[in-house]
Amino acid sequence: MANDPKTSDLEKQAAARASLRFVREGNVVGLGTGSTAAYAVRFLGERVQAGLRILGIPTSVHTKEEAASLGIPLTTLDEVQQIDVTIDGADEFDPQLHLIKGGGGALLREKIIASASRQLVIIADSSKQVAVLGRFPLPVEVIPFAQPLLAKRIAALGATVRLRQDVKGNPFVSDEGHHVLDCSFGQIPDPSALARVLSDMPGVVEHGLFIDLATLVLMAKGEKVTEFRRHE
């Protein structure tokens, strides 16, 4: 159930603050995208200004600009291919710590960074916890050429498919130049199976099902932060 905006905001901040204990001196840190991850970036910026030495790898152009404005030194995958810890948000997480991500449109870079991270720490307010994934529409990033075909194929799987638009009503364009289909499946009882089906579709660049990537989730409810760890 959705929180009121003020409660949700306080919970996002609490989860973001709790995530900082996973960042060590000298770490390469993946910097997530979205309203919750933005707090973590801001709090990391405060630590950097106080003397913490890290290198950040942002998951979007927006996060890159934000981190640079806060004085966080940045690097790229050209320079490092192993990330110590990534802190990012999620649109949903289930008891197995499977995630839906991509509400902010950065799912492709987020998944690449997550896959290169020793630890993926997900921070979330209490509205993001679900028993079964699927209440939040699943973002699927596609090349524009294949978009009509893929919309039809994904709809045939039982989803209501909508092309994401920007504020001007034009198709939303990701940082890598792709479009995003928001696919409402309802409950997704087997996220791993759906992830495989989507990944096998030519023209799908990436989808927002993050399977077996999260190391742990820090979920704030009120002032309390609960840690959920993935069982291997």
On the question of pLDDT at 30 being above 70, the answer is yes
Percent of the chain scored above 90 by pLDDT? 95
| Whole-number pLDDT of residue 92 | 98
Identify residue 41 by its one-letter amino acid code.
Answer: V
Q: 132 pLDDT band (50/70/90 cuts)? A: very high
Q: 2 pLDDT band (50/70/90 cuts)? A: low
Identify residue 204 by its one-letter amino acid code.
Answer: V
pLDDT in tens, 153-181: 999 999 999 999 999 999 999 999 999 99
The question of whether 110 is a catalytic residue gets the answer: yes
Out of 4-13, 65-74, 144-153, 161-170, least confident range: 4-13
Please, is 88 exposed, middle or buried when counting C-beta atoms within 10 Å of its C-beta (0-12, 13-18, 19+)? buried
Which residues, in sequence order, are CB contacts of 210 under 8 Å at separation 6+?
Answer: 90, 98, 99, 100, 101, 111, 114
On the question of pLDDT at 1 being above 60, the answer is no
On the question of pLDDT at 222 being above 60, the answer is yes
Please pick, among 11, 66, 92, 110, the residue that the annotation labels catalytic.
110
